[in-house]
Chains A and B, each alone.
Chain A
């Protein structure tokens, strides 16, 4: 193995950085080189009917190398560090350079002096956590879901998963950045049955160490979300006030943030390209991208190019404040990178907000629901990838949830869609809840009330 060191035979940041630096050291005259090296260890345990259905222990390496010469870039990657792979990847990336179109803005990032946040995302206790305990919690989760309600007919999946990820970036321009983090989750997907009808519901908990996980809450959520859908019918079509629960709003806000990438703007694929300074949302919306928030699932001190991440206010009181940039889109826009390069080892840096959060409102979800006479709570959406067009803004997704009548949650409804446009939904926001929570997505979730959406059902 080309990288070594660290505990448990796993490489530490220094070992990965050494691999990246060796590649960078092979740069020829007039050549810029950027190397990204990652290592990940994962465990996944699935429980089914009181047994371990599967136990996976996985270890992966990856290396990606970008070569830039005369404004042209070439890229190559490999899922291993075996043998002489690093040198082979460099040679392949170098060979690919000639085929790109020259572009004056194409270059690897330059150090910009921005300070790196001191984030503590690594928990040694996760690394030391015994496999037997991981198995036990998965089995316990399945048992709790099954026992939580007599109408629970099965548990499609009950799972514990964790990962220990280490990464390093080095460039010929002097960037040296490393990261390491731990993460773990519990998830359950419950089946509830009554009178021959089946409904489903999930529960989820995540953290940096096993102690952060709340197995009872996951089981209770999965049971509650599935059983409360029993007896669901198709609602009548019409326009109504819709409450998006945090799992749903996080997906919506992630799509909104995607339209604010400097790349989408420069390439004419953002509906907000000419709207800086405009009121693009109701004044109650403030949207901040902050990967330096250690609570964020996707927190990181260094972005995909090895620059420091930072807090970027995207929308303030409904007004569009800024787009996010990596070093290339920043050069093209004549501005500075916002530390928003996103990538895996197998691709060149893209641009995106990675830890988006709304400023909370004064009321909790139950108070918000109590204020609605006639509406709908959406607890799940489907088909976001096919029903939302982030370029035109057309928004239409499958949904399930509960009617709201007289300020109370009423009967369950399913097999309907909610539709609007992203532009109109932002203007129609009627309230933001106080329940901001980080979920395994690039945006945090929060209860959001949208004044009017089209519900298509019967």
Chain B
């Protein structure tokens, strides 16, 4: 399959039509065919060696049928008429409604926003150029300091072409190209081993490296590991926490992002259920989820149900405006979706997922926020996080952090988690700076599916979170 046809006809409209008809042969209100063709390249350098270059190909279709409260789903890697018919019949049988009969589906012409323009498709770049980036990063990291004892550098690119057709006549498609580069370092010293990591990823092609200097990525990773050789144990207990620019996105992703996903809300498995229109955060907090942000890691033209990406205001001036929606939940509520129906791949059902989630900039000076903090913790880089949406309790890791003593950053501290409660933490945000930045590319896991997400924040302070260290 060539790349000339960016969206349009991965599968012939006639074949999609007949597959949809087969999917609805025993009834059902809705059927959908999701076709995906994904190619990926990854290369890893570890221990001074390019260990391997790896190429991947995955292609198939997922077919779902909704009948009453039941969704039937089947997928196949066989895109022949026979393979698609078998999957359609399996999905139809799974939905298992009675009655019905053959239903004709008329597909509209291909529609929807154009895919992002990619200047340099990774497939058009010689493999040697990709591998050379790794060697440069390895050299740069090791050159940072003799205490850098190990370096792992990873390059990854993927091209994901999708096509969505459904029984409502929708026929649309997208091409999503992502490129990622990361470096992890180990530093060895008297205090043992320490780690540092930096990653850069965007929904763009190989032109990523026009703007990203891999030497700098490597030096930042090495710097983090080296700094932590001097780290003291993290403190233990409740205190003010200042989060640096870019890093805080993970905090919002966990503190409220997941809790604003309509599927969890509908099951009353979110502390934010039934709270639209209420004050849920400090009045300076405005939170947005935006799948249209050019180049960002969670960007796409259409979601995995064929709906165009859009900008959704979730919290405005502290008031909960709206949740995020996929088709299933939106239809039940009799409202439009929000472009948040996503899936890891054709083998999975779509569900409500975030895209690029960010806190809008405030007006405080970041230096003043630190200076105004008597005793606390400054987190420069966050690790991942996790939330129990029903209780609101969430954690996130700190992988580069410092003590704040008398309004100044002092000693680096060792890795650990922070814990808080979403609704309480949102109300306890007492400073937001004007230095907005997007954070590192992330993979959000939910119900066994991982999807790429972006996030961003300016510097901010939460008046009280629990830091989970070991020091008194």
Contacts and interface: CB of A to CB of B under 8 A. Distances in A.
Contact of A54 (B72, B393, B399, B469): B72
A198 B391 contact: yes
A162 to B, nearest CB: 14
Contact of B393 (A153, A346, A415): A415
Interface in B434-451: none
B469 A346 contact: no
A284 B402 CA distance: 37
Nearest to A414: B393
B363 interface: no
Contacts of B234: 396, 419
Nearest to B91: A57
A251 to B, nearest CB: 12
Nearest to A81: B77
A454 B470 contact: yes
B393 A55 contact: no
B127 interface: yes
Contact of B50 (A60, A78, A82, A101): A101
Contacts of A92: 55, 57
Contacts of A117: none
A60 to B, nearest CB: 6
Nearest to A393: B192
Contact of B415 (A81, A392, A400): A392
Interface in B4-58: 43, 46-58
24 contacts: A51-B70, A53-B70, A58-B347, A73-B51, A75-B52, A77-B55, A80-B58, A80-B60, A92-B55, A96-B53, A131-B94, A198-B391, A200-B269, A271-B192, A383-B386, A386-B399, A391-B186, A391-B195, A392-B415, A396-B234, A396-B417, A419-B234, A419-B236, A456-B467
A346 B43 CA distance: 13
Contact of A416 (B46, B90, B96, B466): B466
Interface of A: 1, 48-49, 51-61, 73-82, 85, 88-89, 92-93, 95-96, 99-101, 103, 131, 153-154, 156, 191, 198-200, 234, 237, 266-269, 271, 346-348, 382-383, 385-387, 389, 391-394, 396-398, 400, 414-421, 454-458
A80 B395 contact: no
A394 B388 CA distance: 23
Contact of B466 (A73, A93, A269, A456): A456
Nearest to B267: A156
Given A51-B68, A57-B94, A397-B468, A389 B415 contact: yes
B468 A396 contact: yes
Contact of A456 (B75, B91, B236, B264): B236
B194 to A, nearest CB: 5
B388 A458 contact: no
B1 interface: no
Contacts of B393: 382, 398, 400, 414-415
A55 B96 contact: yes
Contacts of A271: 192-193
Contacts, number: 269
Chain B contact surface mostly? strand
B391 A200 contact: yes
B325 to A, nearest CB: 17
Given A48-B69, A76-B54, A457 B43 contact: no
Interface size class, chain B: 35 or more
Given A77-B56, A99-B131, 7 more contacts: A52-B96, A75-B52, A75-B53, A96-B127, A267-B47, A456-B469, A457-B238
A78 B385 CA distance: 31
A48 B268 CA distance: 12
Interface of B: 43, 46-60, 68-79, 90-91, 94-96, 127-128, 131, 149-150, 186, 188, 192-195, 228, 234, 236-238, 264, 267-269, 271, 347, 349, 382-388, 390-391, 393-397, 399, 414-421, 466-470
Contact of A386 (B60, B384, B470): B384
B193 A268 contact: yes
B90 A99 contact: no
B426 to A, nearest CB: 15
B267 A415 contact: no
Contacts of A417: 236, 395, 416-419, 466, 468
A391 B415 CA distance: 11
- Find the residue from B59, B79, B349, B416 having the highest chain A CB count within 10 A: B416
Given A99-B43, A269-B186, A386-B397, A80 B77 contact: yes
A273 to B, nearest CB: 9
A257 to B, nearest CB: 18
Nearest to A418: B468
B276 to A, nearest CB: 18
Contacts of B420: 415
A158 to B, nearest CB: 11
A405 B421 CA distance: 26
Q: Which 5 pairs show the lowest CB-CB distances between chains A and B?
A: A417-B468, A386-B397, A387-B417, A383-B395, A396-B416
Contacts of B50: 99-101
A398 B419 contact: yes
A347 B54 CA distance: 8
A59 B63 CA distance: 13
A61 B58 CA distance: 10
Contacts of A58: 73-75, 347
Nearest to B413: A394
B73 A55 contact: yes
B417 A237 contact: no
